[in-house]
Chain A
Amino acid sequence: MRRLATVAAIGLAVALGLGGDALERRQAPRLRRFTVEASATGLRPAVLRVAAGDTVWLDLVATDVVHGLWIEGYPAEITAEPGRPGRARFVARRPGSFRLRCSIPCGPLHPFVGGWLKVGHWWTLWRRLALGLGVVLAAGLWARRANRSWHAGS
């Protein structure tokens, strides 16, 4: 009985973790404007949150040197330097977290200058906890059985 309950809990947790996306509230698409300032140490803001389906207008303002912005999953690659901002326009169709990275060498920290475009997914933390819990329960169940056979064998 306990084994059945555990297996059911695992199934529920994993389902929530992988499919919790479907439970997210759907909003009507809006126009979202962001001005991202790039410097040699990072982006500000570094995290852009939009809902799935939103139209995103992104202006990249370079505050010190020439910077570039690469957005994972989107073909737009913007270049900006002080006085000449760059811009990108796109529709954030797919939900998920997409990396923003600097694409033009801008100093020693260049490989690490970046951020996130988060589309939808405000449930992410709970989904991860659920998935982790499911995995942990499954592993524990497996370990108990392995333990018994291990003790039995040795």
Chain B
Amino acid sequence: MARRELTRSAPLRELLRSRWPQLVVTASMLGGFFLVVAAGLLGTPVGNRNLATVGVWIAWWAGLLLVAVPLWGRAWCAVCPIGAVGDWIQRGAVLEPSARRLGMGRRWPRAWRNLWLQNATFAGLALSSVVILTNPRVTALVLMGLLAAAACASLLFERRAFCRYVCPLGGFIGLYASLAPVELRVKDRGICRGHRRKTCYLGSEAGAGCPWLVYPAALDRNTYCGLCLECLRTCPYGNVAVNRRPFGADLRGTEGLGLDEAIKALALLGTAITYAAVLLGPWGELKAAAYHVGSRSWLGYAAAYLGFVFGVMPGGFLLAVWLSRLLGRGREPVRRRFGRLAQAVVPLGLMCWMAFSLSFVLANWSYVWPVLSDPLGRGWDLVGTAGARWVPYLSSLTPLLQAGVLLLGLAWAAALVVQHTETVREAAPVVGYCLLVAVGLAGVLLG
């Protein structure tokens, strides 16, 4: 599949340049967000009968992880209500580009211009995830907390600093967005070099400068571009395009991942394994420890989780990378090699998350029907589905789908490692790491 510019089609280009469609979708998402929060705060505390838990952790999560991220990268961020509210407050407008800016507009601290804070916020959420997933009130409070944090960040800092540097989900989506077959890039960098006003970054009457603090002309990866399409509107030369491209095109470069990104990739892989073991595994004591946040057993679980995702996973990978260097011919520094080979963990990670989510989503999708009729668990029956019983869907097909997805991730990772190394011996340790992870996760998911 070669690169193909989608915005060559005039109707699509006009659709994307117009602010209305994006606004309508974003506002609808905000409506859904408030619905979910209301259900979480006012409805039944029973997780599988409340719109908050079922709507977010089954329906929305399935859409995000199984469709949106693999196919459209960071498209969710383009319509995410959490960041949008802060953005509107900051701009003092919901539609028109506005010169008025509320808030202090401070620059984000240089030391934090990386993924480390997002690694921390994600880990924090992951430690309480069993409670969040099962408790509607907690789901509602977490969502409101994120909205409040984004709004406050918008009043303190410039642009979408929250989305770029703090949002726990942003780092996750951004990393895996580099695999998507869709990208936003400039067409001709020469034009950008000759353009003095750099309206794509600084803004103009047509629109704001990149809210994601990305310089579009230098964009070569999907990771930090939130697909907000402002640059499509502000470039006076029409030099910005949305392209269709091969899957994972961002990972072919020799640049590699930064250390923060590599640790994120490995930590996310470790988190997928942890979630599978805790939620889908047969170990009741583990579930109880993960659930009782604040207890002694939870502290043990938290220590084990943090040690695993930030210690064992990167440590094991470092060992594999070091072995690879030993067995190879190059004299490349280990750190650079680590960053380069860590790219292989990205597709493996996404496939592991998809395999985990398939089991969870298909088994529990039938909870969506009663919740549509009775979002608060109050005995309503709006569309006649309140009495629908729980029944796992495609239960015999699910293991095959999961195995297929895991094997795809493994193959993809292996191919990437081979592409970034010269000999079989050099590739073997890292490929072996990926194989162990895939087989281990298969053991937990497939029994």
CB within 8 Å of B: which of A129-154? 129, 131-133, 135-136, 138-140, 142-144, 146-147, 150
Flag if B279 contacts A112 (CB, 8 Å).
yes
Contacts of A110 in B (CB 8 A): 47-48
Taking a contact as CB atoms under 8 Å apart, the answer to whether B135 and A133 are in contact is no
Task: Indicate with 1 or 0, residue by residue over B215-249, a CB within 8 angstroms of chain A CB atoms.
Answer: 00000000000000000000000000000000000
- The answer on a CB contact under 8 Å between B443 and A125 is yes
Query: Is there a chain B Cβ closer than 8 Å to A108's Cβ?
Result: yes
Within 8 A of B (CB), among A90-109: 97-99, 101, 103, 105, 108-109
A113 to B283, CA, bound (A): 9
A132 and B435 in contact (CB under 8 A), knowing A109-B134, A116-B282?
Answer: yes
Q: Number of B interface residues, CB 8 Å?
A: 47
CB of A42 closer than 8 Å to a CB of B: yes
Let me know if B392 is at the binding interface, CB within 8 A: yes
CB distance from A137 to the nearest CB of B (A): 8
A150 to B47, CA, bound (A): 51
- Shortest beta-carbon distance from B298 to chain A in Å: 13
Q: Known: A70-B392, A109-B134, A132-B407. Contact between A101 and B363, CB under 8 A?
A: yes
* B282 engages A43 (CB within 8 Å): yes
CB 8 Å contact bits of B46-71 with A (1 = contact, 0 = none): 11100000000000000000000000
- A112 and B287 in contact, given A97-B446, A139-B414 (Cβ under 8 angstroms): yes
Find out whether the CB atom of B411 lies under 8 angstroms from the CB atom of A139. yes
Indicate if A87 sits at the interface (CB-CB under 8 A): no
A113 CA to B131 CA in the complex, in Å?
14
Q: Which of A73, A98, A128 contacts B443 (CB 8 A)?
A: A128
Contacts of A112 in B (CB 8 A): 130, 278-280, 287
Shortest Cβ gap from B416 to chain A (Å): 7
Cα distance A11–B88 in the bound complex, in angstroms: 58
CB distance from A149 to the nearest CB of B (A): 12
